[in-house]
């Protein structure tokens, strides 16, 4: 399979992923920068999306697999003690996520979630970001 990204972009992506001591949001931010996608952070929108890509009308959330119950993900396994507490807590997060996405959609935004575990595969996240932003671009050539 041909490499999707040229050499310098590839090394930017790899740097973004391997930079130490950064959380999932920072990784995602570095990816957006390496792809030269303009974004803003912490706009005043429902649910405070992590990234806003106005040109694509896209609100982006970076979700921790555990806190937002990533379906089928091993990182989302609940602790074996205090089960009732965790079930309630995580369930509350999920309900809130749904409400937020709904509110954003009603306000005319598209929404997307980048799961923390998927950031390990920077290429696939980068491709997805490019697809998401192309699809929503307002001014098509």
Element (H, E) at 31: helix 24-34
Report the site for Zn ion in 72-111 (rule: CB under 5 A).
73, 75
**CA angle, residues 134, 63, 109, in degrees to nearest 5:** 40
Nearest-approach distance from CB 66 to Zn ion, in angstroms: 8
Would you count residue 65 as binding Zn ion (CB under 5 A)?
yes
Taking the least distance from each CB to Zn ion, the nearer of 24 and 65 is 65
Report the site for Zn ion in 107-126 (rule: CB under 5 A).
115, 117
Would you count residue 70 as binding Zn ion (CB under 5 A)?
yes
Residues that bind Zn ion (rule: CB under 5 A) add up to a total of: 6
CA dist list (Å): 138 to 46, 51, 56, 134 = 22, 18, 6, 9
């Amino acid at each position: 399979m041909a490499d999707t990204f040229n050499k310098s972009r590839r090394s930017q992506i790899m740097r973004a992923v391997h930079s130490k001591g950064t959380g999932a949001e920072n990784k995602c931010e570095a990816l957006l920068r390496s792809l030269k996608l303009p974004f803003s952070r912490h706009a005043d929108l429902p649910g405070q999306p992590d990234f806003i890509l106005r040109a694509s009308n896209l609100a982006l959330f970076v979700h921790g697999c555990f806190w937002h119950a990533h379906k089928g993900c091993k990182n989302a396994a609940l602790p074996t003690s205090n089960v009732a507490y965790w079930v309630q807590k995580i369930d509350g997060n999920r309900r809130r996520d749904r409400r937020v996405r709904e509110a954003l959609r009603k306000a005319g935004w598209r929404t997307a979630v980048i799961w923390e575990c998927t950031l390990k595969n920077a290429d696939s996240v980068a491709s997805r970001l490019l697809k998401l932003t192309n699809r929503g671009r307002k001014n098509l050539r």
